Amino acid sequence: MSLIKQLVSLKCWVQKILSYAFYQSNQLIKGELAHLLNVNKSQRPWHLPIVTAVSISFPIFVGVYFGALAAGIKASLGAMIILNLPLIGSLPHRLMTLIAWGFAMSMSFALGAIAQQLPYLRLPVFALIAFAVIVFGRYYRQPPPAGLFIMMAGAIALFIPIPLDQVMLATGLVMFGSIFSTFMALLYSLFLLSTRSAQPVIDYSYEPDTLSESFIVAGFVSLTLLIAIVFNMTNPYWAAVSCFIIIQGIHLRTMWIKQFHRLLGTLVGIGLAGWLLSWHLSGWQVAVAILVMMVSIETLIDRHYGLAVIFITPLTIFIAEYGSGALITEPVYQQVMRARLLDTMLGCLLGILGGWVMHSTQLRLPFQRLERWLLKRFGIKS
| pTM over 0.75, yes/no | yes
**Looking at the chain, how many residues does it have?**
382
Q: Give CA–CA dist 42/67, Å, rounded.
A: 38
pLDDT, tens digit, 9 for 90 and up, residues 265-281: 777 887 888 888 888 88
- Beta carbons of 80 and 181 less than 8 angstroms apart: yes
Mean pLDDT of the chain: 81
Q: What is the model's pLDDT at position 362?
A: 78
Q: What is the model's pLDDT at position 252?
A: 44
Q: Give CA–CA dist 27/23, Å, rounded.
A: 6
Q: What is the model's pLDDT at position 250?
A: 47
Q: Give CA–CA dist 170/73, Å, rounded.
A: 10
Q: Give CA–CA dist 30/89, Å, rounded.
A: 41
Q: What is the model's pLDDT at position 19?
A: 61
Q: Which amino acid is at 277?
A: L
Q: What is the model's pLDDT at position 331?
A: 61
Question: What's the whole-number mean pLDDT along residues 213-242?
Answer: 88
- Asked whether the predicted pLDDT for residue 48 surpasses 60, the reply is yes
Domain ranges of the chain: 45-195+206-374
Q: What is the model's pLDDT at position 6?
A: 58
**Least confident range of 24-28, 41-45, 154-158:** 24-28
Q: What is the model's pLDDT at position 145?
A: 65
By C-alpha distance, which of 213, 205, 222 is closest to 371? 213
Q: Give CA–CA dist 226/108, Å, rounded.
A: 18
Q: Give CA–CA dist 382/380, Å, rounded.
A: 6
By C-alpha distance, which of 161, 177, 165 is closest to 324? 161
Q: Give CA–CA dist 89/77, Å, rounded.
A: 25
pLDDT, tens digit, 9 for 90 and up, residues 146-205: 788 899 899 889 988 888 889 999 999 999 999 999 999 999 999 988 887 767 766 677
**Residue 204, C-beta contacts closer than 8 angstroms, at least 6 positions apart:** 139, 140, 141
